[in-house]
Chain A
Amino acid sequence: MSGAQGGAEDRAGVWVAVDIGGTFTDLVAFEAGSGRVRAAKSLSTPPEFERGVEEALAAAVDPAPVRAFLHGTTVVINALIERKGAPTALVTTRGFRDVLEIGRANRPDLYNMRYAKPRPFVRRRHRLEVGGRVTSRGLVTEPLRPEELREVARFLRDEGIRSVAVSFLNAYANPALEEEAARILAAELPGVSVTCATAISRRWREYERTNTAVLNAFVQPVASAYLGRLGAILDRRGVPRNRRWLMQSGGGLTDFADALPFAIHLVESGPAAGVVGAAALARAAGLRQVVALDVGGTTAKASLVEDGRVRVLSDYAIERRRDFAGYPLEVPAVDLVEVGAGGGSIAWIDPAGQVRVGPRSAGADPGPAAYGRGGGDATVTDADLVTGRIGASRPFGGGLRLSVGAAREAVTRLGARLGLGPEATARGIARLAEAHMAHAIEMVSLARGRDPRDFWLVAYGGGGPVHAASLARELRLKGVVIPPLPGVFSALGMLAADLRRTFTRTLPGPAADGASAGRVRGEVPNWREAVREMDELARRWLAAQGVAASRAEIEHAVEMRYRGQEHTVRVPLRTTDLLGLELDEAALTEAVRDFHRLHEELYAFRLDQAVEVVDLVVTAVGRLGDPARLFAAEPAAGGRPAPSDVREVDWDGWGLRATPVFERAGLPPGWQAKGPCLIEEPGTTTAVWPEERVSVDELGLIRIEEEG
């Protein structure tokens, strides 16, 4: 047994994916032999998250042996948000220790004179400067002085520092000094974690790169301890060591050993997994253009999936809000737009008497009024109960039962202040929440030059299937697809993910002149050499992950822009070959042509102007299995599925209608019905509106389309 080789038979035994969120730990188990998928939801167990994993495994998988373990976790983001990391220091170029504190100096909360900017994760005393300079072209103009670093190491040892980030000016152009400094510090400081900034990002902008290194240094020892404890649990259960993978923010899996030094890549693994799942589903179902929509308790997240591919951005930030600069991270992250509208979002009236929904959320505790845990505010979930679009008859995750009475009371109270009855108020809350969700969908489609009418909406999370059809109608999307297990779809998505690792390098230079032939002024960097180097890194990484050549790929892309612009457009290069890419004249010419087209698609215009390459991007991909099997339906018990219930539901403009309620588990492939109807399953309800048609396709996916 050597790694993820072989074909589908490699999926023998049970594959388990566990996604730890702030409130719930979701588990999905896939039995390769039978093709069966099981799901379980339990409460998370901070701060000993691994205990929750162990309990979930015992409850849902035993006694079957676990043959592979895939994992997404909040451990890293929790340590960052709660500022519970290791005592950390920064070693940097002379003259630049305050880069971490100056940041970009912006004041996003424009009219607030009391704005407090992000506090650096390392205090000034522990930000140390040393000599040594590299130019922007990578020339060393001043060497390191090892004795200076040894002195720094002594001070850090005395101060009890447990983790050090090393980040030098212009190291993106040549990391030699930075690497040398990291080596010296590691040798001088045994047992102390050392993070080299360019090992995570080789893009320019010293603040962003340095901050990324510092945050990685801050969480690395915490993540390392967690993975150690988790590893011991997996050892006891006999999970093969080369079959344990972690979900990264960029939507790719990586093994424990590889994840360990770069824990920051785990910062946003849950949301990424859902989008990866939606992409796999899009490929399996043959849907070219998809918006993935995850509606949770507090927010809705939308992401674009085209040709089965997830959009990955290379700049991300934590704690960034409209009114707060946050902390930038130069790690690949799935491109999501998040809005403050989820099931727990509170409807309220502002001082001017305007009604609003969100962004404040009742969360899981006390939760919506219907939870009966003391939440008195009317939330989106309460409104959905009052309209009848969700029911109270089945347990609502974690054994919770909903109270329609409590929901109605809260909605009535709010309505009274608006001079509206509870029904009109509930309809309005749903509409307003959906307007926010629609905005998120538009920001990833319309605002990026796409026509939403070409898209299928793949909706999941507890609130996704409830609001999807309404959103699709409002935005005139093609239709709605509800995947299997929408309540634990992030965990399911992990089972569909690939191993991925991205290498990026900033090497700006002219790609082509505008109208006239010939090159623009300026020297052309050695891109070929850089790509060759990164290809080699990619191949080595794939080998280390045990990926067979038949299941491996290397993807190439360049970040390009019009000369003088700042923002770049990522242009995929068509060559995907394990042998690597020759970034020659022909490839560049094609890339420039694609760039003009993509720029016009995205921004509605193209310029007759010189085009520059900024970053080279090389991604190693290892496929683990056949995700299509995940979505294969378990055949339902034969016969014509009868509604389990019929109830009065308020369909806004269509009024009150007697609406049949079906159990999803009883609906076989090929089943069809006319709206209105409701389809219930654990954790969520799919609402099908009047004048819509719903069907279950051969994969078991629920599809909703407009009639006619």
Chain B
Amino acid sequence: MDAATDPFTLEVVKAGIEAACDEMFVALAKTSQSPIIYEVLDYATGITDAEGRLLVQGNGVTGFLGTVASAAREVVRRYAGDLRPGDVVAGNDPYAGGGTHLSDVSLVMPFFCGEELLGFGSIKAHWAEIGGANPGSFATDTPDVFSEGLQLPFVKIVAEGRENRALVETIAANVRTPEATLGDFRAQWAALAVGARRLEALARRYGVATVRLAMADILRRGEILAREALARLPKGTFTAEDAIDDDGVTGEPIPIRVRVTITGDAFTADFTGSGPTARGSINTTWAGLEAGVRTAYRALLAPELPANEGVFAPLRIVCPPGTVFTALRPAPVSTYWEASDHATDLVLKALAEACPDRLVAGHHLSVCGTILAGRVDGEERILVEPQAGGWGAGPDKDGEHALVPVGDGETYALPAEVVEARYGFEVTAFTLDVVPAGAGRRRGGRGVRKELRIPWGPVLLTASFGRHRVPPWGVAGGREGSPNAIEVEHRDGRRIRAGKLARYPLGPGDLVRFRTGTGGGWGDPRLREKELVRQDLEDGLVTPLEAVRDYGWERDEALRAFRP
């Protein structure tokens, strides 16, 4: 039977390509040395065809959707005809090749069978340290990309299996934790090699031509699935406006807006009219905007759709250069996820009421990334963590408590016991944060309150908590949620509350409190079933204040049912 007419063989080969991507993903998690990779899974693995079109992507986080393929295309552009088996190209340029910020380093490896180029393996991973002015390589106040770390402009870091020593030693000399950074590089390389072997075996077993046929089929079928899902979406134009709190430097809110147009064969998101590139590092480049919109697009069409270039064929993104979503070199971008995630959120906000079966009200949105950095016994200790928060309600479900935001995904909160044993901070509370917000017929989920006591000093705190001023949005009469906040209680009694901090000094005995927001509610809270409010009061998940103010309870009755 000819492979072209045998759908089963094609399926077997396609399953093989997916399995290769899977194995790359698992291999990296198991060998990495950075918590940001092995606990937070802040990376993505992908396989593309020989032209750099995405065939399959393994995601730890949504934020990298499609960027691995842009990196492969950049490699095609720069090195076409000059690639050998065993080569690895490294790039983190935020303004090209799917770059986001310098910490996210793409490694791309051509996959060969003999002399035939089959495609590329591409892995983008967050390296805990890439140098620059700030420990952990991001800060809310970096003035330009040069202060954000070492730039790798898509250079061959491995040639035919041999490490480029000059480059590797240059990296080691430019980062604060060379051991961990190089460990991550080698783990990423090893994971690519796993994929290369699998794809080669596939081509030897079924033939190069069949593998290429299967690749083309993946793209073709992806587009069919996407168009079918698109046909089921409501048609029309949907708009949303919002504001990004501030840029971390000037304190001015940045207006953002989107106009989504859905027709029978295209899904267009137009961000024209959004504010200009900011002075602080919250800007994103095109890659972050594209990944952000793709996340919303996939959530709307069908979350279970595969991630390949065909699926994104109907998607158009419009935005002039020089906005907060389309920063140009050398604008600062080290906390790019703030703008990128807002792009996702805007599209979701525009469509929430129109697509209640797919979407929920607004959530805490910000990754709430924190860096605590200091030296103990002459050794640099850098704790980099995202924080979970409250999610929005849907028309038929309460919001989820304590989940990572839309830009994250298979991202794990660090256990308090690991934080204590490994970094020496004392965790005095890790609990849901019950505040009067997010009421609705279906209520928003609760964020978290995490408290750390600092035992030694000095420790520098850098943190970027977006949605510190503008809380998560409610839908259809549901109340808005609550903002994210960083609070510090110094030993001498001084207190601060902030949304963004850069290298804020802490000393022994100081207490840091990370609080993430409650998600938005859906529907009029007065319509919430009394029994559900009672259960929430009994569980201490709703305060008596909300019971009276939002749900229309008698004060005494609410106090009786409440158990904190």
Select the stretch in B96-104, B133-141, B220-228, B479-487 that faces chain A.
B220-228
Q: How far is the CA of A204 from the CA of B32 in the complex (A)?
A: 20
Residues of B within 8 A of A117 (CB): 400-401, 403
Q: Are A207 and B415 in contact (CB under 8 A)?
A: yes
Q: How far is the CA of A173 from the CA of B408 in the complex (A)?
A: 32
Q: Are B8 and A432 in contact (CB under 8 A)?
A: yes
Q: How far is the CA of A287 from the CA of B190 in the complex (A)?
A: 31
Q: Are B186 and A605 in contact (CB under 8 A)?
A: yes
Q: How far is the CA of A322 from the CA of B394 in the complex (A)?
A: 23
- Judge if B158 is at the interface, Cβ distance under 8 Å: no
Mostly, the A contact residues are loop
Among the listed A98, A113, A170, which residue makes an inter-chain contact with B348, where contact means beta carbons less than 8 Å apart?
Answer: A113
- Judge if B420 is at the interface, Cβ distance under 8 Å: yes
Residues of A within 8 A of B299 (CB): 111-113
Q: How far is the CA of A420 from the CA of B2 in the complex (A)?
A: 13
Q: Are B39 and A566 in contact (CB under 8 A)?
A: yes
Q: Are B416 and A565 in contact (CB under 8 A)?
A: no
Q: Are A108 and B31 in contact (CB under 8 A)?
A: no
Interface size class of A (residues with CB under 8 A): 35 or more
Query: What is the 8 Å Cβ interface bit string for chain A, positions 429-465, against chain B (1 contact, 0 not)?
Result: 1011001100100110011000000000000000000
Residues of B within 8 A of A104 (CB): 412-413, 415
Q: Are B400 and A115 in contact (CB under 8 A)?
A: yes
Q: Are B379 and A521 in contact (CB under 8 A)?
A: yes
Most chain B CB atoms below 10 A, which of A110, A439, A564 = A110
CB contact list, A230-284 vs B, under 8 A: none
- Judge if B359 is at the interface, Cβ distance under 8 Å: yes
Among the listed B298, B403, B448, which residue makes an inter-chain contact with A111, where contact means beta carbons less than 8 Å apart?
Answer: B298
Q: Are A428 and B7 in contact (CB under 8 A)?
A: yes
> Are A112 and B303 CB-contacts (below 8 A) given A169-B416, A442-B19?
yes
Q: How far is the CA of A35 from the CA of B29 in the complex (A)?
A: 49
> Are A107 and B563 CB-contacts (below 8 A) given A206-B417, A432-B11, A605-B31?
no
Q: Are B12 and A432 in contact (CB under 8 A)?
A: yes
Among the listed A205, A355, A427, which residue makes an inter-chain contact with B418, where contact means beta carbons less than 8 Å apart?
Answer: A205
Query: What is the 8 Å Cβ interface bit string for chain B, positions 166-209, against chain A (1 contact, 0 not)?
Result: 00000000000001100100100010011000000000000000
Most chain B CB atoms below 10 A, which of A439, A508, A521 = A439
- Judge if B432 is at the interface, Cβ distance under 8 Å: yes
Q: Are A172 and B417 in contact (CB under 8 A)?
A: yes
- Judge if B26 is at the interface, Cβ distance under 8 Å: yes
Query: What is the 8 Å Cβ interface bit string for chain A, positions 194-226, against chain B (1 contact, 0 not)?
Result: 000000000011111000000000000000000
- Judge if A607 is at the interface, Cβ distance under 8 Å: yes
Residues of A within 8 A of B348 (CB): 113
- Judge if A97 is at the interface, Cβ distance under 8 Å: yes
Among the listed A123, A206, A207, which residue makes an inter-chain contact with B539, where contact means beta carbons less than 8 Å apart?
Answer: A123
Q: How far is the CA of A456 from the CA of B431 in the complex (A)?
A: 50
Q: How far is the CA of A527 from the CA of B409 in the complex (A)?
A: 38
Among the listed B7, B61, B179, B403, which residue makes an inter-chain contact with A105, where contact means beta carbons less than 8 Å apart?
Answer: B403
Q: Are B397 and A116 in contact (CB under 8 A)?
A: yes
Among the listed B39, B186, B228, B401, which residue makes an inter-chain contact with A351, where contact means beta carbons less than 8 Å apart?
Answer: B228
> Are A98 and B430 CB-contacts (below 8 A) given A564-B33, A566-B35?
yes
Q: Are A355 and B8 in contact (CB under 8 A)?
A: yes
Q: How far is the CA of A424 from the CA of B359 in the complex (A)?
A: 43
Q: How far is the CA of A639 from the CA of B511 in the complex (A)?
A: 85
Q: Are B421 and A508 in contact (CB under 8 A)?
A: yes
In the complex, what's the smallest C-beta–C-beta distance from B338 to chain A, in angstroms? 19
Among the listed B12, B31, B388, B420, which residue makes an inter-chain contact with A170, where contact means beta carbons less than 8 Å apart?
Answer: B420
Q: Are A435 and B358 in contact (CB under 8 A)?
A: no
How many positions in chain B have a CB within 8 Å of any CB in the partner chain? 84
- Judge if A609 is at the interface, Cβ distance under 8 Å: yes
Q: Are B420 and A135 in contact (CB under 8 A)?
A: yes
CB contact list, A152-188 vs B, under 8 A: 169-170, 172-173
Q: How far is the CA of A107 from the CA of B225 in the complex (A)?
A: 24
Q: How far is the CA of A431 from the CA of B305 in the complex (A)?
A: 24
- Judge if A562 is at the interface, Cβ distance under 8 Å: yes
Q: How far is the CA of A75 from the CA of B481 in the complex (A)?
A: 43
Residues of B within 8 A of A424 (CB): 1, 6
Q: How far is the CA of A564 from the CA of B35 in the complex (A)?
A: 8
CB contact list, B139-179 vs A, under 8 A: 179
* Residue in chain A with minimal CB distance to B538: A125
Q: Are B417 and A113 in contact (CB under 8 A)?
A: no
In the complex, what's the smallest C-beta–C-beta distance from B467 to chain A, in angstroms? 17
Q: Are B403 and A108 in contact (CB under 8 A)?
A: no
In the complex, what's the smallest C-beta–C-beta distance from A610 to chain B, in angstroms? 9
- Judge if B15 is at the interface, Cβ distance under 8 Å: yes
Residues of A within 8 A of B23 (CB): 443, 446-447
* Residue in chain A with minimal CB distance to B34: A564
- Judge if A603 is at the interface, Cβ distance under 8 Å: yes
Q: Are A607 and B412 in contact (CB under 8 A)?
A: no
In the complex, what's the smallest C-beta–C-beta distance from A372 to chain B, in angstroms? 26
Q: How far is the CA of A147 from the CA of B222 in the complex (A)?
A: 63
Most chain A CB atoms below 10 A, which of B305, B359, B412 = B412
Residues of B within 8 A of A103 (CB): 402, 413
- Judge if A321 is at the interface, Cβ distance under 8 Å: no
> Are A101 and B401 CB-contacts (below 8 A) given A107-B408, A111-B62?
yes
- Judge if B411 is at the interface, Cβ distance under 8 Å: yes
CB contact list, B1-29 vs A, under 8 A: 1, 6-9, 11-12, 15-16, 19, 23, 26-27, 29
- Judge if B429 is at the interface, Cβ distance under 8 Å: yes
- Judge if A124 is at the interface, Cβ distance under 8 Å: yes
- Judge if A95 is at the interface, Cβ distance under 8 Å: yes
Among the listed A208, A429, A447, A562, which residue makes an inter-chain contact with B33, where contact means beta carbons less than 8 Å apart?
Answer: A562
In the complex, what's the smallest C-beta–C-beta distance from A254 to chain B, in angstroms? 28
- Judge if B340 is at the interface, Cβ distance under 8 Å: no
Q: How far is the CA of A210 from the CA of B278 in the complex (A)?
A: 45
* Residue in chain A with minimal CB distance to B10: A354
Q: How far is the CA of A350 from the CA of B224 in the complex (A)?
A: 11
Residues of A within 8 A of B404 (CB): 105-107
Residues of A within 8 A of B186 (CB): 605, 607
Q: Are A107 and B31 in contact (CB under 8 A)?
A: no
* Residue in chain B with minimal CB distance to A111: B303
* Residue in chain A with minimal CB distance to B301: A111
> Are A95 and B403 CB-contacts (below 8 A) given A109-B303, A169-B417, A355-B7?
no
- Judge if B346 is at the interface, Cβ distance under 8 Å: no
Q: How far is the CA of A443 from the CA of B30 in the complex (A)?
A: 14
Q: How far is the CA of A111 from the CA of B64 in the complex (A)?
A: 12
CB contact list, A389-432 vs B, under 8 A: 418, 420, 424, 427-429, 431-432
Residues of B within 8 A of A124 (CB): 432, 539-541
Q: Are B420 and A125 in contact (CB under 8 A)?
A: no
Q: Are A102 and B401 in contact (CB under 8 A)?
A: yes
Q: How far is the CA of A205 from the CA of B359 in the complex (A)?
A: 33
- Judge if A356 is at the interface, Cβ distance under 8 Å: yes
Residues of A within 8 A of B9 (CB): 431
- Judge if B295 is at the interface, Cβ distance under 8 Å: yes
> Are A107 and B416 CB-contacts (below 8 A) given A204-B421, A567-B38?
no
In the complex, what's the smallest C-beta–C-beta distance from B496 to chain A, in angstroms? 22
- Judge if B341 is at the interface, Cβ distance under 8 Å: no
Q: Are A352 and B420 in contact (CB under 8 A)?
A: no
Residues of B within 8 A of A109 (CB): 303
Q: Are A125 and B11 in contact (CB under 8 A)?
A: no
- Judge if B377 is at the interface, Cβ distance under 8 Å: yes
Q: Are A96 and B416 in contact (CB under 8 A)?
A: yes
A-B pairs with lowest CB-CB distance, top 7? A428-B8, A95-B429, A105-B388, A110-B409, A124-B539, A112-B303, A111-B303
**9 interchain pairs (CB within 8 A)?**
A98-B432, A102-B448, A107-B409, A117-B403, A204-B418, A354-B221, A566-B33, A566-B38, A566-B39
10 further A-B pairs in the complex, CB-CB below 8 A; given A102-B413, A114-B360: A96-B431, A105-B412, A106-B410, A107-B404, A114-B397, A117-B401, A169-B416, A169-B427, A353-B221, A604-B194
**Residue positions of A touching B, CB distance < 8 A:** 94-99, 101-117, 123-125, 135-136, 169-170, 172-173, 204-208, 323, 350-356, 418, 420, 424, 427-429, 431-432, 435-436, 439, 442-443, 446-447, 508, 521, 562, 564-567, 602-605, 607, 609
